Structures are given as C-alpha cells and as structure tokens.
Chains A and B, each alone.
Chain A
Amino acid sequence: MFRLTVQSVWARRGRFLLTAAAVVLGVAFMAGTSVLTGTLRRAYDGIATTNLAATDAVVRAAGSVDGDAGRVRGTLDASLVDVVRRVDGVAAADGSVSAGARLVGRDGKLADGGAHQAVPIGMAWLPTAELNPLRLVAGRAPRAGTEVVIDRASARDAGFGPGDRVTVRTSSGAARYTVSGVATFGSDDDAGGAGVVAFAPAAAARILGVPGRVDAVRVAAAPGVSQAEVARRVGSALAAGGRHRAAEVVTGRAAVEEELGTGTSGVPFMEALLPVFALVALFVGAFVIYNAFSITGAQRVRETAVLRAVGASRGQVRRTVLVEAGILGAVASVAGAALGVALAHGLAALLRAFGVELPGGPMVVGARPLAVAAATGTVVTVVAAYLPARRASKVAPVAAMRDVAVDRTGGSIRRAALGAVLTGLGVVASVSGARAGAAGPVGIGALALFAGVVALGPVVAPRFIRAAGRPLAGLRGVAGELARENAARNPRRTAATASALTLGVALVVLISVFAASARVSMDANIDRNLRSDWIITPLQHQDGLGPAVAETVDALPETGSVTTFRYVPARLDGATVSVAGIDPERVEQHLDVGARAGSVRALGATGIGVGHRVATERGLRVGDRVTLRFAETGARSFEVEVVYDLSSDPLGDFVVSQEAFEANASHINDQVVFATTAPGVGEREARTAIERALRATPTARLHSPDEFKSVVAGRIEQLLNLVYVLLFLAVVISLFGIANALALAIVERRREIGLLRAVGMERGQVRAGIRWEAVLVALLGTVAGTALGLGFAWAMVTALAGEGIDRLAVPGTRLVLVGAVGLVGAVVAAALPARRAARLEVLRALTT
C-alpha cells in the first residue's frame, strides 16, 4: 500500500505543486522566524555572557521590580565595594554602574540616533581586567572624569580615536570628554549592535546615576576559591556587617543564567510577534491543504471505489490519503525549512529596513528550530488532510459503477446549527468581554466566532455568491453566469478557499482599524486634555531628558509654566504598575487631569493619586491607604489624595509628587517635559528660544501638540506597515489556495470546458469565466474577513476603552484598498489556471 501511495504521489506531482507551495511558504516563514530569533537571542545572550565572563560573584540590591522595559533593580551604597574587597577569598571587586549614553558625531548629530536602534550603553570602566568586558585596542583606560573609552565600531563609524574631543550625552546632560582609548566588547567591535562609552570609575556614578551609589559589585575570586565559595563568604560578611537586608549575592554563573533569554531591545517584541505571524501563515496553509485534498479526493472517487470494491478496507483508504499527505507534507516541509534559512536573512533585512537595529554577524542555523518547523509543517498537513481522508474512506464500492455527481453538499442542518451556535457564542463572548473590558473573553470569543464562520461558510457561500454574482450575468453574459454557478457549485470547497483569505483579511482589517482608532483616540485625548503649548520627549525611553532640560527651558523668559513627568515601576499586590512622578502645583496648568475627588495639589510626600478606572476596580477612595513596593526602597505606604479621570499618558494610573518619587526611585530621569508659552510671546519666538536651549541635548525632541500627534501617528504607521508586510505572506498563501482550487477544478471540469469551447465559447470567455470565479470567491473571503475584522476591532477597542483607546475609527479608504488588493490578487492568482483552461484542446478535453 505504501509503495502504491508513493507512486500515486509521484504520478500526480504536478498537481501537488501548488498545494506543496502553501506548505513550503508556511514552514519557511516559521523556520525563518526561529532562525532569526535564535540568532538574535544568541547575540544578546552573548552580551550577557561577555559582560560577566570572568566575574565569580555579583553583589546587588535585593529589591527588584519587573517593569515594561525590563527588570529594575535598586542601587547599593558605593562604600560596599570596599567591604567586599576585604572579604577573605576575594581577589578583586569593582562597583559597576551603567545607563544610556550617546556619542555625538562630528556633525553634531547623534552617532547612533535611530528611534528603534539599540541604545548605546554607558558604563563605568572597571579597573580589574577580568571583571571588565572591554579590551583596550588603542590608547589607555579613562583616569580623569573628563576621559572616556569608546567601542571600536563607534570609533570607526564616527571617525574618533585616542586624543579626540567628543561630546557624550547622558541623563545628567551633555558634556565634552577626551577619548583616552578604544576598546572591543569581549572580542566584538560593539555590544551586539549597541555602542559603548566607558567613564572613569570615580566619575561614572555621578555621570550615569546617583553619586555614591553603584548598581552592583562584581567580584573576582582568589585562586582556588570557587564561585559558590566566594559568594558564600561575601554573603556572610555582608550579613555580619548588617547589610544583608539591602544586598544579595549570587555567583557569576547564576547572574549570567538569569540574563540569558531576557535580552533587551527588539528581541521580546520579535519573539512574541513573529511566531504569531508564522502560525497565521501555517493556519492559512492548512485551509489550502484541506481544500486540495478534498478536491483530489472528489476527483478520485471512482478510483477509491475500485480499491474498495477489490477489498481495501476503509482504514486502508484513509491511511492511503494520510500517508499521501505525510509524504507531501514532509517533502514540502523540508524544502520550506531550507527556504527558511534564506528567509531569515530576508526578515532581518526587512526589520532593519523598518529601523530595528539587529546585531550583525552570521545567522545561527540550529538544527532544532528547522526540525521543529519541518515537523510542524508535516503534522499540519496530515491533520488538515484528515477530514478529506475520512470522507474518501466513506466512498461506497458501488460508486465505481456510477457516474460521479457534483458534490453540492454544504447546507446540512447539523452544520448550520453548529455554525450558528459557535457564531452566537463568539458574538456573546466578544460583546460581553468587550463591555466588561476583559481581553480574555474577547480573544476566546474571536476564536469561536471565526470557527463559527468557517462552519457556516458552506451554508452561506452559495447564497452569497449567487447574490453577489447577480450583476455578473448582465455584465459578462454567460461567462459571468458560469463563473457564478461554478463558484457556487461546490459550497464546501468555495467556503474553505475563501476562509483562508478571510483570516488574513480579518487580521489586516483588525490591525488597520485598531491603529486608526488608537490614533484618533490619542488625538482626541490630546485635544481634550492638553493645555500646554510644548511637549519635549527623549529620543528613547532609556535616554530620558535628565534634569537639565526642564531647568534650562524653565529659565527662558519665553516660557511660562514648565512641568516634568518621570516614571518608576512598583509592585502593587503582586502586579507591576507604573508610578508617575509629577509636580502637584504645576501639572494642572498643563493638563486637565479630571479630578473626581480630592485634589492633585494635596499630594505631599506620602500622598498618591489614582486613576478613576483602577480606583473603581480596587475600591479605592480618597483617604484610603495603598502600599507600593519599590526596587530601591521596598514597601512604602501612601494615602489616596485624588481620584482622576485622565489615566492615559502622561499620567497613567498612579501619580505621586516629585518629592515622593525622588525618595523612592534610583535613576531619576525626566521622560516628558511640558511647557507653556509666556504671555505675549509668539509661537515662533517661543519655539526658537526652546530649540536653542535644547541644542545641548540632542536626544530631546520639541513638539507642538499637533506635531506630537503626527509623531505618534508616524510611529503607529511604521509598526502598522511592518505588520502588513508580515501578514502579506498569509494573504499570498491564501491566494495560492485560490489558484490551487481553480487549477484542480479545471482538471475536474475538463470535459465541461471542452463542451463549452465546442459549442462556441471563445478562449477569452473561458478566461473571463475563471477570473470572475476567482473574484467571487475572493469577494466572499474579503467581505467575511472585513466583517470579522471590524467586529474584532470593535470588541478590542471597547475592551481597551480604559487604556486610552476609546474611539472606533474605520479607515475607509484603507479598507477599500485591502479589499481591492484581495480581488486583484485573485485575478492574478486566476491567471495561470485561466490560461490553462483556455488552452485546453477541445477534442482531447471532450474525449478523454
């Protein structure tokens, strides 16, 4: 039986080609994604490993909070370094400090200034060579506070060398330094795409953080002392000195382990996002496979019946089809995995084109991700072929003797009922989830809804196509009529072909509507609540604005009120929240905070403001107490002084005064500065003055409210475009599905086409008929996808109303464009099958 199957697959290899293409593309995407993320992960892991390569133990603050931008840890008193040095078994110990630092190029622009690029690292030069990841390749270590060592890649790109004067911008402001040396990071020219600036040890804390504090103490053990032993000894020394509460000790190996896989920059985003798109592509591919096996199964009813008549059991027939699917899936998946390696380079180039900085170096092609992708592809193929296999096994032996009728089934009551129930459940779950603001039920509802639509497809498809195709008969005559009837003749097939497109279109529509809604909501939010005239933001969150920006802008006679916002993560009942530091006296000159109870002005050293939504959720009222746990200071109790409406940026759900903020956060760095224009000063005059003041801070960006809107819009648009490109593959696969279904249908309809040609249908009419058939199927998929996408978007926007996205905006032109892409794509997909149909030799088509 197996050999028979192999032969049968080989004999029909041409017919399997398009089906295989769907598998190949899906698997290639998946393999490419894992190769790329694997490579990135290895690169970032490499940074962690290099950073702590010869460090035997790390002393660090015990308190930590996992915020949105990674883990935030408290700082240690610098005097601890000397305490650790004196411990028996410690050969050397250095205090490490690190934060963002940017080199300014000769042209006055940032050397590495892309908004998505890896943030350059600023760090203390560690005097002990084995604790220092940097290796000097020119010059010498920084000694004075005005000296720095820079990485070789930045030195090369910006053209700096030892002795050159450079400007470096940190959160404490921009300052001039002398390059004392150039170094590599381990053996690499930079730290995984990020530049490095190392400051003299004595000055680093002042420049990068808080004077007298260090991030951690790195320990090198004396010869013959193990990592565990030195960690234990340092630990007991600290406990004896009464310092154990603030600090903890881990071995160097453990510290590296913790860092692995938590790399910063693009990786989490990519690791979360790319596999989702790979799965979507594979899922769409599954529809194509299901369809292809259904069609070939229908074409081989007679062959199957003969097999059954000569004694093959149902199980054998079913296994034959599944083995066929297995062979196809395995071959296509292996090809897909191989193509995936090439695709990984393409994806990397794509992400770079969208401004995401990735570490250089060769792709790390692991056998495992490729094997996983290939196995997934094979399994998906076999699973997708299961239903068609089962149907084939149900062919009665007498079918060998009968003329094969067209399969018109689809509208069975059971299917309609199942579809209706699933759809109903989906709608109920989505709507109630949306109303309750719960994303979970919305997601489950969306899945149920999609499943329901897939189940209902065969019931709805013929009705939809007959209705939508009605004008075709008038427009394209009998070719249009035939297109309509052919698209409607096999509801299950048509529905499955369309479903593949439905999914892709639904996601595109969802993302488009969601993005438009986010944009409109933010615009409205700015219009409604912003009273300020100027918004100053840093290039990246890690850069911050430092204290200098607010001070210099406030000192300008052209500005009136100036206020700042800072953020620190904290734990509240096991969840991480972001706490904003604000100026209670000035904030209302810039924002309408919408106080419902109490007053922002009442925030003192121990007061806190809570957003209305969270206050309702947690049952908090003015006068209640809230305990927050900070990385730097541990648990702190606050009294609720105000409940306010405006819980979107720049306030968030929790606000404290700057006084309280400074008492509890380690790195104090303004993230947003608002300014108003002084009375009687023109807009242009104010802008010129502020821009001049900001010249010393090249990471600061000045926006008017309208400019800020377009900056936000631009960022949304860029992300949207990336998502479009990634979803495009799913749409392409579904178009392959249309081409495949048509090609197979043409094989099935050979004699029909022959007859039509014999009684006078012209080639052009044959082609038009097939093109229009494709358009009708695509129209079904696009309309269903658009409807689903709109529904999902509504549910999501409604669910997220509290997060600042509270308006539904439907980008009409864009949706029309998406639809047009689907329909034009269908015409393109139909081109080859249509050509083949038109070229059929009339006599041969009729007689064989």
Chain B
Amino acid sequence: MDMVTIGSITEAPGAAGAALPEAPTAVVGAAGAGDTAPPRAPAARTVDAVKVYGRGEAEVRALDGVTVDFEAGHFTAVMGPSGSGKSTLLHAVAGLDGLTSGRVFVGDTDLGTLGERRLTRLRRDRIGFVFQQFNLIPTLTALENIVLPLRLAGRRPDPVWVGEVVSRFGLDGRTGHRPPELSGGQQQRVAVARALANRPEIVLADEPTGNLDSRRGAEILSFLRQAVRELDQTVVMVTHDPVAASYADRAVFLADGRIVDELRDPTSDSVLDAMRVLGG
C-alpha cells in the first residue's frame, strides 16, 4: 500500500538470508562491538539512559545510566528483580515514557527529538507492544484488534499477511469473537498477533506470560521465538521468569537501574545461576 509496507516486504527476505539463525554479536557497551562479520545496525538502543522519579527523599533512579543495543533479528530478554527498572527501560524504548537524561534510538530515530504526535506515530508504525494484561479493546473483535494499528494509520491491512498471522497464531475461526469470549491464552495470542501485524521494526513485550499458566505461556514464547527465527522479527521481552528467558537469544540483567550482566543463548539453569549471583 505505501512506503512502510513495501519497505518491510522488500527488506525481510534479504535480511533473513543474511542473519539467521545466529546473528552477529553485539555487546553491552562499546567494548565488544564489531569484532565479528558484517554487523547489522541495532533495531533499537539506549545511550546512558537515566530516568528519575520523584524528588528529594522520595527520589527513585529507575534507570541509572543504561547503555544497551537491541540487535535486529534477535530475541532479547530483559531480566531483573521487581524495581530493577526493566519495565521503565521497555517503556522508554517504546516512546511511552521520556528519559530524564540520555538518549533512546529506534533505528536511527532519536526519540528525545520527537514531539507527542510523532512519538505516537512511531509507536503505531514502527513498534509492536505486548502488555502483561489488558492488551485488547473489548469492543473490537479479535481481527479488528489485530489490525488496529494499521487502521489507526488509515492503512488497509494486507489480507494475505493478516491471514498468515492469524493462522500462525492458531486463531482461525476466532477472529470474529470479542475479547471477553476468548480465553486468556487466546487473548494474549491476539495481542502478539497485533504486535506483529504491521511488521514493526521491533516488538516490545512486557511480561507477556505473566498472567498465563505455564502451558499457555510456553505457547506465546514459542510464537515470539518463531517470529524471530522465521520472520526475522526483532523482539525485546521483559520477564522475571528464567524459563521465559530461555527462549531468548540473549538475556540482559538489570539491577537498581543498571545493567549488571548478560548471557548469550540463555537456558533456564544459566539464568537461575546468574540471578543467584546477582541476588547474593
């Protein structure tokens, strides 16, 4: 239909050939960057991100100088205990919350330079977001929820692509239902489908399995992983669940607003170990 759609269609196959499954290593900070072959520009990154809530005695430094790259075509898990700043980081990248200092980029766009309206459009056109709960508009059907960002942009959804997303998420036959008529797992699948429907540059998921039992949770995580493997999607997920983190290509650990560790190809055991070290 227009530039954005065409852009992602033409970009996807080429990029998929080059970068799957094991992408080049981009590392926290500047140190390890660029020692392996052709690095893709990160889908999003922060530079010395600081976020302070409150003032004086009540001051909380939710983010305290976070510099991190989120590699394109990768599945990154952001981990940490509650209050570590992981959700704040995700909200900052999504343009939902501004920084006190430092910078956030999505692609080449510095979010700090964008006004309210352009931030909104960025969220609509370039970002997909999955919340822990309350992900859907109750008055719209599943399908209408999935194509919501496209419709908000005044674009006609590509029926082939939407059909593929719907069947990939096992939602065939459920598209005409409204959220209250769907199970929790189905609702969350609709939410993930919505996040992917406009082929965003980056999908941000905030505890997407937090409200689900382990089986439904595993389903959602597999879908996210598939999206990265098969569709060359970039996914960043905040979680405190080591099992969830094990689906990711990389886990980044936050504590007290700082990045304290990271793991490549995490397993639930290695994540647990890392957390134990952090906790002790």
Contact = CB atoms under 8 A, between A and B. Distances in A.
B117 A762 contact: yes
Interface in A734-762: 751-752, 755-762
Interface residues of B, number: 29
Interface string A811-848: 00000000000000000000000000000001100100
Contact of B140 (A405, A406, A485, A842): A485
A406 B151 contact: no
A417 to B, nearest CB: 27
Contacts of A759: 123-124, 129, 148-149, 152, 194
A482 B137 contact: yes
Given A478-B151, A759-B148, A846-B131, A406 B138 contact: yes
B149 A760 contact: yes
Given A478-B148, A755-B131, A843-B91, A762 B120 contact: yes
A843 B94 CA distance: 11
Contacts of B194: 759
Contact of A751 (B94, B134, B140): B134
B137 A752 contact: yes
A755 B124 CA distance: 11
A752 B140 CA distance: 11
A758 B94 contact: yes
Interface in A405-427: 405-406
A406 B180 contact: yes
Interface residues of A, number: 24
Contacts of A485: 139-140
Contacts of A406: 138-139, 180
A489 interface: yes
**Of residues A478, A757, A759, which shows the largest number of chain B Cβ atoms within 10 Å of its Cβ?**
A759
Contacts of B129: 758-759
A486 B139 CA distance: 7
Interface string A453-484: 00000000000000000000000011001100
A765 interface: yes
Contacts of A165: none
B140 A482 contact: yes
A45 to B, nearest CB: 61
A502 B134 CA distance: 36
Residue of B94, B120, B125 with most partner-chain A CB within 10 A: B120
Contacts of B151: 477-478, 481
Interface in A753-796: 755-763, 765
Given A405-B180, A755-B131, A846-B131, A760 B137 contact: no
B134 A755 contact: yes
A531 B174 CA distance: 78
Contacts of A489: 138-139
A477 B91 contact: no
Contacts of B139: 406, 482, 485-486, 489
A316 B152 CA distance: 46
Contact of B96 (A478, A486, A843): A843
A309 to B, nearest CB: 23
11 contacts: A477-B152, A481-B144, A481-B151, A482-B137, A486-B139, A489-B138, A756-B148, A759-B194, A760-B120, A760-B123, A843-B91
Given A481-B144, A752-B137, 6 more contacts: A406-B139, A477-B151, A482-B137, A755-B131, A759-B129, A760-B124
Interface of B: 91, 94, 96-97, 116-117, 120-121, 123-125, 129, 131, 134-140, 144, 148-149, 151-154, 180, 194
Nearest 10 pairs between A and B by C-beta? A760-B124, A485-B139, A478-B151, A760-B123, A762-B120, A760-B149, A760-B152, A759-B149, A751-B134, A761-B152
